[in-house]
Amino acid sequence: MSRSTAIAPASERLHALDAVRGFALLLGIVLHATLSFVPAPTRIWIIQDTHQSLALGLLFFVIHVFRMTTFFLMAGFFARMSFHRRGIWGFVTDRLQRIGLPLVVGWPIVFTPMALVVIWAAGFPNGGPIPGAPRWPPVLPNFPLIKMILWSQVINGMLLPFVLIYMILIVNKSGLMKEWTNSRSYNLVAWTAVAVMIGLTLALVGISVRDLLR
């Protein structure tokens, strides 16, 4: 048997999902850059620009509706493949090395200068807008953007069961997933989790509608 046939082919990298993940990361920069411009009666970020913008607030809302759900979907997809390829302990070890260790080492390094900058910036008084500065983009002071942001979370919760169902259907396609196709026990756990999420989603929608009608 030749060497080329003896060695199993390496798993193909899903470049399309890498591109989606990179695009979602870049959208995170845009999302956090718009936070200080969101028109709101109370401050929702550590700083608040004196020239608030409805356009940037709507951009924040649009990105926030789908970005985290996309991350959760891709994380579950790749974690499922890694779990079947490495086994339980291999998967846990890999996650600790890739996520746990960088978090423990990097978090104090990143958080310390952030806290120092926030404390330093807290001493600056709000001097107000510069006289004669243009009011652009236009601001609608009575627009209920905070309620819109809260309802974006409700929409996220309503979309999550559909995402989970679609993901379970994908991992049960043997032609696509091959050796990583779900077993009956995994399907039982997965569909139970989906049923619980649907119940929680209905409760979330009911509570939100009740609060809206008050």
Asked whether 8 and 41 are in contact (CB, 8 A), the reply is no
Coil, helix or strand at residue 174? helix
| Tokens found for residue 141 | 């002071």
pLDDT tens digits, 67-118: 888 888 888 888 888 888 888 888 888 888 888 888 888 888 888 887 777 6
Coil, helix or strand at residue 131? coil
| Residue 8, in any domain of the structure | no
Q: What pLDDT sits at residue 133?
A: 46
| Residue 7, in any domain of the structure | no
DSSP, res 8: P
| Tokens found for residue 168 | 């379970």
Domain that holds residue 124: 14-131+142-213
Asked whether 194 and 166 are in contact (CB, 8 A), the reply is no
| Residue 4, in any domain of the structure | no
| Residue 63, in any domain of the structure | yes
Looking at the structure of the chain, the number of domains it has is: 1
Nearest to 70 by CA among 140, 149, 166: 166
The CA-atom distances, in angstroms, between 208 and each of 35, 153, 182, 203, 211 are: 24, 10, 35, 9, 5
| Residue 116, in any domain of the structure | yes
Nearest to 38 by CA among 176, 107, 140: 140
CA distance 56 to 18: 27
| Residue 80, in any domain of the structure | yes
List phi, psi (to 5°) of 204: -60, -45
Greater model confidence, 63 or 153: 63
Q: Exposure of 109 by Cβ count < 10 A (0-12 exposed, 13-18 middle, 19+ buried)? A: exposed
Model confidence at 135, pLDDT cuts 50, 70, 90, reads low
Q: Could you write out the DSSP letters of every residue in 85-116?
A: HH-HHHHHHHHIIIIIHHHHHHHHHHHHHHHH
- What is the rounded average pLDDT of the residues 115-123? 69
Greater model confidence, 8 or 49: 49
DSSP, res 180: G
The CA-atom distances, in angstroms, between 133 and each of 50, 79, 137 are: 10, 51, 12
| Residue 162, in any domain of the structure | yes
CA distance 196 to 201: 9
- What is the rounded average pLDDT of the residues 115-138? 56
Asked whether 129 and 50 are in contact (CB, 8 A), the reply is yes
Q: Is the pLDDT of residue 128 over 50?
A: no
Mean pLDDT is lowest, of 14-28, 120-134, 162-176, 194-208, for 120-134
| Residue 97, in any domain of the structure | yes
CA distance 56 to 41: 16
| Identity of the highest mean pLDDT range in 125-129, 143-147, 174-178 | 174-178
Q: Write down the residue that tokens 């999420």 correspond to.
A: 197
Q: What pLDDT sits at residue 125?
A: 52
pLDDT tens digits, 176-201: 777 778 888 888 988 998 888 888 88
- pLDDT more than 90, % of the chain: 2
